[in-house]
Amino acid sequence: MSESDGTTRDSIAADRRYDVAVVGGGPAGLTTALYAARLGHETAVFDRGGGRAAMMQDTHNVIGTPESVSGNEFLSTAVDQLRSYGADYRREFVTGIERAGNSFDLETTEGPAVADRVVLATGFSDERPDPPLPRTGRGLHYCLHCDAYMFVDESVYVMGSGESAAHVAMIMLNFTDDIDLLLRGDEPTWSDETATLLEGHPVDIVHEDVTGVRNGDDGWLEALEFEDGSVREYRGGFAMYGSDYNNDLAASLGAAINDDGTVAVDDHGRTSVDGLYAVGDLTPGHNQIPVAMGQGAKAGLAIHTELRAFPKSLDELEAEGAVSASDVPAMPAALRQQASDLASMADD
């Protein structure tokens, strides 16, 4: 924030000052915010919209959630739940973050905000192959562990020329015996060892590029056309071209970044910068909704341990004296009222 435009820290409205600011509104960020709000901390989610979870046609591998629930429905329900506990959900894009003493200054498309803790849940974007392509979620997929079950005993392709594409093609043999690895005119970049592994597995390698896509009346892929004039039938497949991690904010704050672009964190999402956390697809590990939610829960618990007012330490009691009855509870009045309202609704 800059004094040249009349914006100073002291001028920021009280409703844009938070204990916890979460940047990103996917499953990891929303879960972190849910825990922080329920544990009594003034919390906001800053979400520009979109993201990998929002693109899901159906939700898989989330216990208690029907498969028919779309990504947008899943996230919308989570936002409603978050708001019911008194957290703010702001459809804003965070353009910059600066450290300011023991807290952080955030600049967004709707103005500045201040937070004692910041959680980055900005995820990554899948690198997409060149068109022509099937419809995403109707024949073009990016998550093996989410969608492999959909293709049991079906004809499946894997697009890509690197190590990940080769290994995904071989992994898919656990689900079907009809796998093509589509190089799309590129030269393979996998290792000699991987080449030997491929030779030992029944995977067909197709060198020609894709020139056309054939979809059924339901929108699902039926076949791909190739530059040699051949047509191969597929139910669907996976594009494996890597990931583009949204780590600019983390890097600008000096957080350690791994070689693959993920943000380095400990077991509870702490980065190398005090007060800065990262969760979800932005961090190393499996890119799965339940995993992201677990990371968000652990980060929320860790933040609560850092921010909660009680118990006071022995040093604090010695310096400040015993805790007065007028000082408790520590939860802000608005969140206490929200909890009371929810309890009243449950009793009705």
Q: pLDDT value at position 2? A: 53
Q: Which of 14-18, 91-95, 184-188 has the lowest mean pLDDT?
A: 14-18
Q: Is the pLDDT of residue 272 over 70?
A: yes
Q: What is the pLDDT of residues 114-145, one digit of tens each?
A: 999 999 999 999 999 999 999 999 999 999 99
User: How distant, in Å, are the alpha carbons of 132, 172, 184, 223 from that of 211?
Assistant: 6, 24, 9, 11
Average pLDDT over residues 241-257: 97
pTM: 0.93
Average pLDDT over residues 241-253: 97
Residue type, 90: R
**Cβ contacts of 269-272, under 8 Å, gap ≥ 24:** 269/32, 269/119, 269/295, 269/298, 269/299, 269/302, 270/302, 271/120
* Band of pLDDT at residue 7, cut at 50, 70 and 90: low
* Band of pLDDT at residue 317, cut at 50, 70 and 90: very high
The residue that leads in pLDDT, 213 or 5, is 213
Q: pLDDT value at position 242? A: 93
**Residues for the chain: how many in total?**
348
Other Cβ atoms closer than 10 A to 272: 15
Average pLDDT over residues 89-94: 97
Other Cβ atoms closer than 10 A to 116: 18
Identify which of 99, 124, 114, 108 has the alpha carbon closest to the alpha carbon of residue 276.
99
DSSP secondary structure code for residue 69 in this structure: -
Identify which of 116, 232, 142 has the alpha carbon closest to the alpha carbon of residue 184.
232
* Band of pLDDT at residue 11, cut at 50, 70 and 90: confident
Q: pLDDT value at position 1? A: 58
**What's the angle, vertex CA 283, arms to CA 51 and CA 27, rounded to 5?**
40
**Dist CA 193 CA 208 (whole Å):** 23
Q: Is the pLDDT of residue 107 over 70?
A: yes
**Dist CA 180 CA 224 (whole Å):** 11
End-to-end CA distance of the chain: 46
* Band of pLDDT at residue 173, cut at 50, 70 and 90: very high
- Residues of the chain with pLDDT > 70: what percent? 97
- Work out the mean pLDDT of the chain and round it to a whole number: 95
